[in-house]
Amino acid sequence: MVFQPRSVEFAAAGPADPPWPRRVRPGFRGLPPYLLSGLRELPCDVYIATGGQAVLYATTGSEAAEVVERLEGGAHLLMRAEDDELLRRSLAAGLPVVLADDGLPAIERSRRAYAITTEVVRPLFASMARVDRDGLVVTHEAIDAVTGRLIESDDLVWSIVATMQKHLTTHTHAINTAIYAVVLAQYLHVTERQEVEDIGRGALLHDIGKTRITTKILDKPGPLTRSEWRVIQGHPETGFQLVTRALGGVPGYGHIIAEHHERADGSGYPGGRRSNQVALDSQLVAIVDAFDALTSDRSYRTASTPFEALRTMRFEMAGQFNDELLQEFIGLLGGWKKLRRGDLRALGAVAGG
């Protein structure tokens, strides 16, 4: 995560937290208390914002729950920006604790888990962010924790789907795609844990190559030029190379990154390959990738409802996706039989539209 050498603004990410002060001292960042919910002890010193100053509040190793408990209402925790990596590693390691906390309602566990996963993943998707082994390993750890919980218990499946943020950014889209992919893999009875984890990892990192594309192109409201479109078409290969170089070899999910924009009818990129030439898990990720993109707000269009997105994928984009997998995905959302009968209004109700 990149921090500018000046005062910056932080918005509250936790629904129950008080609004963050609009400006904090240079070199510090806001630390929402809910992020500490899965930690046994603080991985770094934390500070409290008082009169425009950052005052030491608790030191490294302090019991996290006690720090949060004695925090007075309206107070704001801060941490040094340079300790960001320490926090990310601790959050990833503590995520299973949050996911398994049966003392919290499923929706609250899901909200916290999603926010923590976002905190861990977001720096990797910053423009031109460094992609190295350490960063990928902690990212793997976070999404594996979510995958493991979804494999072991279905109590969080729909609550975590309901928690998804739908204002499309590269990192939230990555998390959403990974969750949809894991849930669909479970629905299809993919039982090998490593295979499901690779689907989750590949789905999470499928767009990592876009970190090398300028926002001028990514967020362009109008049609892309031919040269701009060639840049976009290069992101699967760029992402594959970034991850392969960082890990020192091709990971088990590398092909998903490389193939997620191939289409069943051969109209995709970068290779124009048909479904019989593309791995099945890559085709699975292609479907959930498109669905989340269609149901998320973008700078140049508003989000479709789930119903509208499924109708677009089934009819307006007919032939682009593996038909059997698409039917299963619609079935997962509870609406394939209704869609097949043409009862689109009923599908909209089932899918949340």
Cis omega (within 30 of 0) for bond into 270:
yes
Higher pLDDT pick, 339 / 304: 304
Higher pLDDT pick, 174 / 8: 174
DSSP string, 39-96: -SB-SS-EEEEETTEEEEEE-TT-BHHHHHHTPPTT--EEEEGGGHHHHHHHHHHHHH
Which tens digit of pLDDT belongs to each residue from 101-159?
999 999 999 999 999 999 999 999 999 999 999 999 999 999 999 999 999 887 788 88
Which tens digit of pLDDT belongs to each residue from 238-250?
999 999 999 999 9
* Cα separations in angstroms, 135 against 132, 176, 351: 5, 19, 35
Predicted confidence (pLDDT) at residue 49 exceeds the cutoff of 90 = no
Which tens digit of pLDDT belongs to each residue from 82-93?
999 999 999 999
Predicted confidence (pLDDT) at residue 219 exceeds the cutoff of 90 = no
pLDDT band at 170 (very low <50, low <70, confident <90, very high): confident
Domains of the chain: 1-81 (no CATH), 100-303 (1.10.3210.10)
Residues 309-326, mean pLDDT to the nearest whole number: 96
Predicted confidence (pLDDT) at residue 48 exceeds the cutoff of 70 = yes
pTM of the model: 0.87
Residues 317-321, mean pLDDT to the nearest whole number: 97
- pLDDT at position 25 is 74
pLDDT band at 10 (very low <50, low <70, confident <90, very high): very low
d(CA 143, CA 64) in angstroms, rounded, equals 23
Predicted confidence (pLDDT) at residue 7 exceeds the cutoff of 60 = no
Does residue 185 contact residue 328 with C-beta atoms inside 8 Å? no
